[in-house]
Amino acid sequence: MKHFDSKKFRQHFPLVCGNPRLNTQVKGLSPLVYLDNGATTQKPACVIACYQYFYQNINANVHRASHSLSTKATIAFEQTRDTVRAFINAKSNKEIVWTKGTTESINLIASSLGKKILNVGDEIILAVSEHHANIVPWQLIAEQTRAVIKVLSLDATGKADLTEFDKLLNNKTKIVCCAHISNVLGKINPISEIIQKTKSVGAITIIDGAQSIAHFSVDVQTLDCDFYVFSAHKMYGPTGVGVLYGKEALLDVMPPYQAGGEMIKTVSLKEQTTFNSLPFKFEAGTPNIAGVIAFAEAVNFINQYNTIEITEYEQQLTQYCYQALSKIARVKFIVEKMPDIPVIAFTVKGHHNHDIATSLDSYGVAVRSGHHCAMPLMEYLNISGCLRVSMAPYNTFVEIDYFIKCLMKIIQQENDSSIEVVSNNVSIENGLTSTEIINQFSNIKSWDSRHREIMLLGKQLERLDKNLRNEQSLIIGCESLAWVIATKNAQGVFYFQSDSDAKIIRGLLVIVLAAFNGKTALQIKSFDINTYFESLGLMQHLSPSRGNGVLAIVDKIKKITRV
């Protein structure tokens, strides 16, 4: 086993090695500082090489042919199953089912087991902090079976509340679902206690390990959970590969989730079809063979290192970042106390989360903003969303310093009215035209300057009366809440008013409205919005979700002016 050295560890990641910050240039500006590891981790060179090697040397389907190439692929594929079995200490390879990810694993359990064991009035307990992937599948099954969902609250530190759990647990409880660690809060839930308490009423435990699997060793036999699910891509492996661990006795009685090739033993049009043995009856169709085989490399890569040493380094990163954030007056953590893994959620007073995240992106710092697929948790905490910084062992203290420096700079810039960017000083009160916007952006070369100009435009947008911000004016598909209303004069010319709770969206609204204000319905319909955006150098710099939000604004305007 290798001694963990953060600098040497970092060298294994092509996106990381050779630079105090990540090598990759973001939008031609600052090197990328990747602090979104809770969403997905970067991949070591051995995983990338293995993926490529499969397609170059042993590409063939598995289990289905007698030729040597298929045999090689099948052996490597099944060896990965054994590698993962050993990694989590499952009893048998039959208990390891390949899926596309944690989400599909939970859907498989909900559909196959849920339909089998749930009846009218039966209860499912879910923690309020669960990811949508561990909520929505159970809502669908509960609706179909007329089961009831009970919600487990949290204590002040953000962990599942055992006292409340005792109150919810009863003889009607059939399924308990809980994340090992919340993807937002970074707190380790009292899983062992929950599992043991659940056993007392004979209910099934399903543990979402998506956030925990990369941070410490997991022993499913010691936990004694019924199911444990996780994704390869959150532990340095490929995307599109997930693991469903289930106790063999439970998997054995569960019906197949999908039907097709590989999951059958015999098919007949005259007699009943019979299904394959475990785990194959849950693996219909051609799997992600290259991804599964490359996943073995990720597991072997992790197994090289002393996990205790990695955990200690992660704790140092967490404490360093948490303390640095706590010194910023406007930062507010969404729950009490430092998280257990390097996942830190917070808000910045007076600033929208998306504005902060977009501004950080202009400096090359990648963080997450929004509800993080945990909308019930946001509602429970009475916030609309938050920022999330999530670190991995290849991150450095230098990167944290850079992130903190950029965050403080952004907060200061927002409070400093003297800051100006290149502008032709056209008064927005008179309504900027598309030509004026194009001219205004033509002198701006870098994305960070463009971003700051958009933010400046957002400050100048006249806010919409709160009474006009309603369901009718709401723009569906925009990343942040946004609204637009239209008035039409006697000549059929439209004028628009709009608003958003995020400055970056308000700035984008100004840009979009400049294209459509003062035009008739026919002129709006014929206006080439894509060429307009291209001339501004806009869309290629926006995240897909924000780019889709801009297009949603356009669609809303065209809908309300449709002739």
Where residue 8 falls among pLDDT bands split at 50, 70, 90?
very high
Where residue 549 falls among pLDDT bands split at 50, 70, 90?
confident
Supply the pLDDT for residue 424.
Answer: 34
Q: What is the DSSP-derived secondary structure letter of residue 418?
A: T
Task: Specify if 59 maps to a domain.
Answer: no
Look at 24-28, 274-278, 326-330 and tell me which has the smallest mean pLDDT: 24-28
Give the strand pairing for 123-127 and 173-179. parallel
In this predicted model, what pLDDT tens digit does every residue of 273-291 receive, in sequence order? 777 777 889 988 899 999 9
CB 330 within 8 A of CB 348: yes
Check whether 188 has a pLDDT greater than 50: yes
The whole-model pTM stands at: 0.84
Task: Specify if 52 maps to a domain.
Answer: no
Structure tokens at 358: 């977009």
Q: What residues contact residue 390 under an 8 Å CB cut-off, 6+ apart?
A: 35, 36, 37, 38, 39, 186, 342, 343, 344, 368
Q: In the chain, what percentage of residues exceed pLDDT 90? A: 64
Look-up of token digits 């997930």: 242
Check whether 538 has a pLDDT greater than 50: yes
Q: Is residue 261 exposed (0-12), middle (13-18) or buried (19+ Cβ within 10 Å)?
A: middle
Do 120 and 240 fall into the same domain?
yes
Do 336 and 273 fall into the same domain?
no
Look at 193-202, 310-319, 355-364 and tell me which has the smallest mean pLDDT: 355-364
In this predicted model, what pLDDT tens digit does every residue of 113-169 receive, in sequence order? 998 999 999 999 999 999 999 999 999 999 999 999 999 999 999 999 999 999 999
Supply the pLDDT for residue 441.
Answer: 81
Do 183 and 279 fall into the same domain?
yes
Q: What are phi and psi of 26, to 5 degrees?
A: -100, 120
Task: Specify if 121 maps to a domain.
Answer: yes
CB 254 within 8 A of CB 116: yes
Among 210, 207, 209, 204, residue whose Cα is nearest residue 249: 204
Supply the pLDDT for residue 425.
Answer: 34
Among 305, 311, 321, residue whose Cα is nearest residue 396: 321
| 17 a catalytic residue | no
Do 216 and 324 fall into the same domain?
no
In this predicted model, what pLDDT tens digit does every residue of 383-436 receive, in sequence order? 999 999 999 999 999 999 999 999 999 998 766 543 333 333 333 334 678 888
Among 298, 246, 228, 258, residue whose Cα is nearest residue 83: 298
Helix, strand, coil % in the chain, rounded to nearest 5: 45, 15, 40
Q: Which residues span the domain enclosing 535?
A: 428-560
Do 123 and 271 fall into the same domain?
yes
Check whether 312 has a pLDDT greater than 80: yes
Look at 111-115, 339-343, 440-444, 540-544 and tell me which has the smallest mean pLDDT: 540-544
Do 237 and 130 fall into the same domain?
yes
- Supply the CATH number for residue 168's domain: 3.40.640.10
Structure tokens at 180: 């090992």
Number of domains in the chain: 3
Q: Which of 373, 386, 406, 478 is catalytic?
A: 373
Task: Specify if 48 maps to a domain.
Answer: no
**Which residue did the predictor score with more confidence, 551 or 444?**
551
Structure tokens at 402: 């850079």
Do 323 and 456 fall into the same domain?
no
Do 165 and 191 fall into the same domain?
yes
Do 380 and 448 fall into the same domain?
no
Supply the pLDDT for residue 530.
Answer: 86
Structure tokens at 474: 């709401």
